[in-house]
Chains A and B, each alone.
Chain A
Amino acid sequence: MGKTFTIVLVAITVVSAAFFIFHGQLLWLPEDVSVHGPGIDHQLMETMVGTGILFLLGQLVLCVFVWQSSGRKEGWKPRTFPGGPKPMVISAILAVGLEILALSFVGSKVWAGMYMNTPDSQALHIDVQAGQFAFYFRYAGPDSKFGELHPEKINQADGNFFGLDPRNDVAARDDVVTATMAIPVDRPIQLTMHSQDVIHSFYVRELRIHQDIVPGLMIPLHFTANKTGRFEIACTQLCGLGHYEMRAFLEVMPQDKFDAWLKQQESQ
């Protein structure tokens, strides 16, 4: 039985590890298109290598000991691991402790770079509204001012997703509301996100950004995309029956194309 256990676990370990190593396109992160993304990806790779080694070591050493155990004859006198528990304690504290220190140190720098620095003054501001079950986006329009939000005025049928009051609010008159988020490439983007009903979440895998949108809060998020393309914005916080279909699309385009797009939206 012991030898069988070893063989089975070795097979499981090798196959599992193989999928991590030879993951191909399908079973891996999509290509990163953000400025802060490499920091995250680097952190992920470090962790993958570290935990991968621990995974292989842990499972395979267990296998070795089990194999040896099952090969012993009647009358075997049990032997204690050399050094007793002390080497376990020391190696865990050293190996894991050092790994934790390294990861935390580097990770905090990456995290701070994402969340704890001041957004660029040249950033393009986009307002994001989440609601059961769609995202809507708002640009400030030619006056560069966002109109005020009035939740009591939200009306899906009239297309007033944000609850704007253009009749009384001058700034709201030229606000551009779209169902697709378009942004210029290589330009810092500042999002302000809010929800009208339950908690949603804003997740763009390729941009390595993920932020819950909590009703009652105005949540800032900033990033810069450095590749053009069309990417999915998925809602990842369970928000009701339509959660699995709640998504929008992010179009990253060259600055001139974006200007043309925005102009076209404004004219509508």
Chain B
Amino acid sequence: MSEAAAHPAVHQHTAPTGFIRKYVFSVDHKVIGLQYYGLAIVAVVIGMALSWLMRLHLGWATLPIPGLEKLSPAGAPGNVMTPEYYLSLMTMHGTIMVFFVLTTAPFAGFGNYFLPIQVGAADMAFPRMNMMSFWVTFVAFLALMSAFFVPGGPPISGWTAYAPLSAVGQTSGPGEGWGQTMWAVSIAIFCVGQLLGSLNFIATTLDLRTRGMSLARLPLSTWAWFITSVIGLMAFAVLLPACILLILDRTAGTSFFLPSGLVFGDQMLPHSGGSPLLWQHLFWFFGHPEVYIAILPAIGIISHILPAFLRKPPLGPRVLVGCIASIGFLSYMVWGHHMFVSGMNPFSAILFSVPTLVITIPATIATLLWIGSVYGSRMQFTTAALFCLGFISVFTTGGLSGFFLAQPTIDTYLHATYFVVAHFHFVMAVAAIFGMFAGTYFWMPKMVGRMMNETLGKIHFWLTFVGVYCIFMPMHYIGLAGNVRRYAAFTDNFLVPLIPVHKFITIAALLTGAAQFLFLFNLIWTRFRGPKAADNPWGATSLEWSTTSPPPFDNFGGRQLVVHQEAYLYGVEGASADFIMQTSSETVEKP
């Protein structure tokens, strides 16, 4: 490997020329970061549209939705969704959102753009491998999208793809032919892309920090990206073989996840010896760290942004890093809490429950640190700041519902109900996305050199903040009432009385979804018409604000930055301004 390390000042880094080299096959981490971000935007629009279709069907199961039959003649004859089509939309919704939105935007998107800049490097440690990791992820996305168009349509087994439903092939249901195989292929390719990305993040954080940027001076966002990549390195490494084994079971006649005696349509299948629980163990050993991979970058991002608008240092940043690291570490010990009623040994339920509950401790400390940071501040309520505050609120709500599910006795009742759906949507769909929004409003001026419209942003925030509570808070109530999840429709006497709540949720979801178009419009408007941004419009301290907006191709215009300060010197008594940048050599006399 001749590019064993980038050479910031020594290396003759020439700017790329030509459209393809600049914007398509670019090795510039900034372009790659924007490509990931763009992929995530496309994915989130598709994922959100799928959720609207799902919610419409749940509120009004017999409602014909205009145009649906054109989209899928088999899935929606007469424009009315069949149950299997609902399940396939649900599967694709979950898969797209978890992988191509939550693992992509906050981590690969912003991380790729800002990690090298925040450590003071000219690029990632392995720029070509970085480019490869994006295009591999892109190919994975195409493979997943192809599931919509293959014979049989998308799979119906949920993003969790439990065997045997996902492993026997066409026999178990519509979409379980080519659709499920393309799903598994896509996810396997995605794992490779993430692995390559993680290697880059780790090497860059450890090796390419500029002089003076000790680990203790790293911004909290960089710490979060770094810890997330370490988690990802080991999590995706388990999902990859699991998907390959699934593909083998489906196509090569193996029985890793298939026991003997399976009967479909009165025909017994020839498989024998396998275990459906094996899939669950492998999947959730990946799956639980994965949800922390989804949230930790958002935690890092809002922890980074909040101090800039509080104009005071964050409370206990080192403790916060410790919390992020311990959450990452503990995330490997809790996977069985998805399997409390799975049929595994009941004793193991207690074993998994304890670390699951223990994870609440660092999560609580982090929340208290954020709330404690707001104390004694004079806050600037920009859109980015509002999304940070919103994050604290929704992360608290989502985290607390986890407390119920972490206990096997309570999970006995709440497993597979809407209570679970409420929990994971609050922490992933809401909290992590709020982190993405905060990051966008904060960093867009740096990335495109133009300020976003604050009025539109604030309207977007209010509509979204109220909207998400209207969508997901009621799900706790119907979950407690025993509303089972992953049902295409509610037709029995027990659940029919809850349909009015579903109708409310649907309307809230559609309105909140519509509000997101304000955000999309704002993005596009900013790119072309936004007022020019200064180098440091927020008066922030970290290294990305020590360069132009947008930064030049080598980030700092050939300069080698030297860092003299910690990351969050806001409101320092006796300083010349209410913030001291990391590159500043100002020393302040302690009063």
Q: Please tell me whether chains A and B touch each other in their complex, using a CB distance cut-off of 8 A.
A: yes
- B343: contacting residue among A76, A163, A219, CB under 8 A: A219
Taken residue by residue from 45 to 77, chain A's Cβ proximity to chain B (1 for < 8 Å, 0 otherwise) reads as 001101100110011011001101110111011
Say whether A51 contacts B484, CB under 8 Å. no
| Residue A8 interfacial (CB < 8 Å) | yes
A219 surroundings in chain B (CB, below 8 A): 343
Given contacts A27-B478, A43-B407, A245-B491, contact A217 B173 (CB under 8 A): no
Task: Please indicate the chain A residues that have their CB under 8 angstroms from the CB of B353 in the complex.
Answer: 104, 107
Binds B, one of A167-175, A176-184, A207-215: A207-215
Contact A244 B491 (CB under 8 A): yes
Docked-complex contact B165 and A78, CB < 8 angstroms: no
A245: chain B residues at CB < 8 Å are 83, 491
Taken together as a complex, chains A and B put the C-alpha atoms of A244 and B488 apart, in Å, by: 6
Nearest residue, chain B, Cβ from A11:
B466
Known: A62-B389, A244-B489. A107 touches B379 (CB 8 A): no
Contact present for A84 and B164 (CB under 8 Å) = no
Q: Is B164 a contact of A203 with CB atoms below 8 Å?
A: no
B354 within 8 A of A: yes
Instruction: Kindly identify which residue among A62, A131, A154, A156 contacts B371, using a CB–CB cutoff of 8 Å.
Output: A62
CB contact under 8 A between A5 and B381, given known A214-B276, A217-B343: yes
Q: What separation, in Å, do the CA atoms of A16 and B468 have in the docked complex?
A: 12
**Is B82 an interface residue, CB under 8 A from the partner?**
yes
Minimum Cβ distance to chain B for residue A58 (Å): 4
Our pick among A58, A65, A91 for the contact of B396 (Cβ within 8 Å) is A58
Of B347, B480, B487, the contact of A23 (CB 8 Å cutoff)? B480
User: Contact mask A94-117 → B, CB, 8 Å, 1/0?
Assistant: 011100100110011011001110
A70 touches B379 (CB 8 A): yes
The residue of chain A having its C-beta at the shortest distance from the C-beta of B415 within the complex is A210
List of A residues within 8 angstroms of B400 by Cβ: 51, 54-55, 58
How many A-B residue contacts, CB cutoff 8 Å?
A: 316
Min Cβ gap B540→A in Å is 15
Interface digits, B156-200 against A, CB 8 Å rule (1 contact, 0 not)?
A: 111000111100100011100000000000000000000000000
Given contacts A19-B477, A62-B393, A65-B374, contact A243 B368 (CB under 8 A): no
Q: How far is the CB of A46 from chain B (nearest CB, A)?
A: 9
CB of A92 closer than 8 Å to a CB of B = yes
- In the complex, whether B3 has a CB less than 8 A from a CB of chain A is no
Contact A77/B165 with A27-B481, A88-B365 known, Cβ cut-off 8 Å = no
* A15 vs chain B, min Cβ distance (A): 8
Known: A62-B393, A81-B372, A85-B316. Is A110-B409 also a contact (CB below 8 A)?
Answer: yes
Chain B residues whose CB sits within 8 angstroms of the CB of A73 once the complex forms: 378
Taking the closest CB of chain B, its distance from the CB of A218, in whole angstroms, is 10
Residue A138 CB within 8 A of the other chain: no
Which residue in chain A gives the minimum CB-CB distance to B477? A27
**How many angstroms from the CA of A154 to the CA of B482 in the assembled complex?**
32
Contact A66 B164 (CB under 8 A): no
Please tell me if A201 contacts chain B, counting CB pairs below 8 Å. Answer: yes
Find out whether the CB atom of A103 lies under 8 angstroms from the CB atom of B407.
yes
Tell me which of A40, A55, A115 contacts B410 (CB under 8 A): A40
* Contact assessment for A151 and B361 in the assembled complex, using a CB-CB cutoff below 8 Å: no
Query: A225 on the interface (CB 8 Å rule)?
Result: no
- The yes or no answer to A2 lying at the interface (CB within 8 A) is yes
Interface pair B346/A116, CB less than 8 Å apart: yes
- The verdict on B249 contacting chain A, using a C-beta distance below 8 Å, is no
Q: B335-376 CB contact bits vs A (8 Å, 1 = yes)? A: 000000111001101100110011011001101110111111
Contacting residues, chain A, for B62 (C-beta < 8 A): none
A29 at the interface (CB under 8 A from B): yes
Q: Is the CB of A80 within 8 A of B315?
A: yes
Within residues 35 to 88 of chain B, which ones have a CB less than 8 A from any CB in chain A? 82-84, 87
Q: How far is the CA of A128 from the CA of B266 in the complex (A)?
A: 18
Given B83, B157, B393, B477, which contacts A244 in the complex, CB threshold below 8 Å? B83
Does the CB pair A241–B261 fall under 8 Å?
A: no
Which of B172, B341, B353, B409 has the most A CB atoms < 10 Å from its CB? B409
Check if B311 is an interface residue, CB within 8 A of chain A: yes
Contact-size category for A? 35 or more
Q: Which of A28, A65, A97 contacts B480 (CB 8 A)?
A: A28
A residues in contact with B493, CB < 8 Å: 232
CA of A4 to CA of B385, assembled, Å = 14
Bound together, the chains give a CA A246 to CA B172 distance in angstroms of: 15
B462 contacts the other chain (CB 8 A): yes
The winner among B458, B469, B570 for most chain A CB atoms within 10 A is B469
A152 near B268 with CB under 8 A, answer yes
Q: Are A214 and B386 in contact (CB under 8 A)?
A: no
For A66, the chain B residues whose CB sits under 8 A away are 374, 379, 389
Bound Cα distance A242, B173 (Å): 9
Cα(A131)–Cα(B81), bound, Å: 24
Please name all residues of chain A whose beta carbon is closer than 8 Å to the beta carbon of B484 when the two chains form the complex: 203, 234, 236
Distance to closest chain B CB from A241 (angstroms): 4
Q: List the A side residues contacting B389 at CB < 8 Å.
A: 5, 62, 66
Residues A238 and B492 in contact in the complex (CB < 8 Å), given A58-B371, A85-B315: no
Cβ contact within 8 Å between B341 and A243? no
* B residues in contact with A68, CB < 8 Å: 375
Residue B494 CB within 8 A of the other chain: yes
Q: Are A211 and B343 touching (Cβ within 8 A)?
A: yes
Pick the contact of B375: A79, A197, A201 (CB < 8 A): A79
Extra inter-chain contacts (14) besides given A100-B361, A238-B87, CB under 8 Å = A50-B403, A65-B375, A68-B375, A78-B312, A89-B316, A107-B353, A111-B409, A115-B349, A116-B347, A210-B341, A210-B415, A215-B262, A238-B162, A242-B83
Can you show 11 pairs from A to B with CB atoms below 8 A apart? A54-B396, A76-B378, A78-B312, A78-B378, A80-B315, A87-B372, A89-B316, A107-B353, A116-B347, A214-B342, A244-B488
Q: Which residues of B contact A (CB under 8 A)?
A: 82-84, 87, 156-158, 162-165, 168, 172-174, 259-264, 266, 268, 274-277, 310-313, 315-316, 319, 341-343, 346-347, 349-350, 353-354, 357-358, 360-361, 364-365, 367-369, 371-379, 381, 386, 389, 392-393, 396-397, 400-401, 403-404, 407-410, 412-413, 415-417, 458, 462, 465-466, 469, 473-474, 476-478, 480-482, 484-494, 497-498, 501, 570-571, 573
